[in-house]
Amino acid sequence: MSTFVCGGNVHANGIRQHYLRYGGNAGARATRDPVILVPGITSPAITWGFVGERLGEQFDTYVLDVRGRGLSCVSDTLDYSLDAQAADVLAFAQALGLQRYSVVGHSMGARIGIRAARSQPPGLARLVMVDPPVSGPGRRAYPAQLAWYVDSMAVARHGVDIETMRRFCPTWTDEQLALRAEWLHTCDERAVLASFQGFHTDDVHADLPHVAVPALLMVAGRGDVVRPEDIDEIRGLLPQTEVSHVPDAGHMIPWDDEAGFYRALGGFLGAEVVPRPRQQAAA
């Protein structure tokens, strides 16, 4: 049975923010902090729906379309900075009346979560940083190449089939490729370019000492985004950080090892998430 509740829009931080909700707040979920999931640079909310389904079994879960992605606001005058994205998350929680909540951010979403947590918002209870880019001023570059994003978005805007998308994501399943082919065109190139540049100009390491909530750093075993020395530095800047590893996953952790992703979360959010097999499409 699906845990999907609804899709919705709120006006928060001056823009329309679109989200998908899973689980709701009935039963045991009412006793646990809701979860706001913030995806990465070219991941509309719908592409994280399979994770929302599982999280929704234990938590009232909201998956955001970050500005410039999916069905949230986009324009040629919109501010796509990290500060604006972080303010969006806090305004979103306030607009929905969430008194306490956890933020789970992947990649760019993890950096958004860190910047949001820096201001020590009163409702934020926990922060999960899933394989965050550790690039920044004077640091090594983010390992992904900008051309990969630009080229894949260009073919998506034109209209793309699974086999063409497979050139960009060769290890993904047909189901995963079909969803990306359907939704990648909703990622505005201006937003993606600004975020990619921000990977190298925004100093999230300076934010870490100001984060006051419990934090979990989830690290992919493959992908070279977070290295052992980066873990040591993050722990030095944010001593309350717990660290978990998903050895057999690349940067897109739940796509590579969904069960490993939930094991790495453990009980950090207040309850363990148990994966269940995905339903196979009918023949």
DSSP 88-146: HHHHHHHHTT-SSEEEEEETHHHHHHHHHHHT--TTEEEEEEES-----TTSPPPSS-H
- Give the closest residue to 252 by CA, choosing from 51, 19, 3, 18: 51
C-alpha to C-alpha distances, 256 to 104, 167, 259, nearest whole angstrom: 18, 17, 9
DSSP state of 69: S
Opening angle at CA 43, ends 244 and 203, nearest 5: 60
CB neighbours of residue 267 within 10 Å = 9
- All structural domains of the chain, each given as residue ranges with its CATH number in brackets, are 4-265 (3.40.50.1820)
The string of pLDDT tens digits covering residues 85-113 is 999 999 999 999 999 999 999 999 999 99
pLDDT value of residue 277: 67
pTM confidence score: 0.97
The string of pLDDT tens digits covering residues 130-161 is 999 999 999 999 999 999 999 999 999 999 99
pLDDT value of residue 278: 56
The string of pLDDT tens digits covering residues 229-269 is 999 999 999 999 999 999 999 999 999 999 999 999 999 99
pLDDT value of residue 280: 39
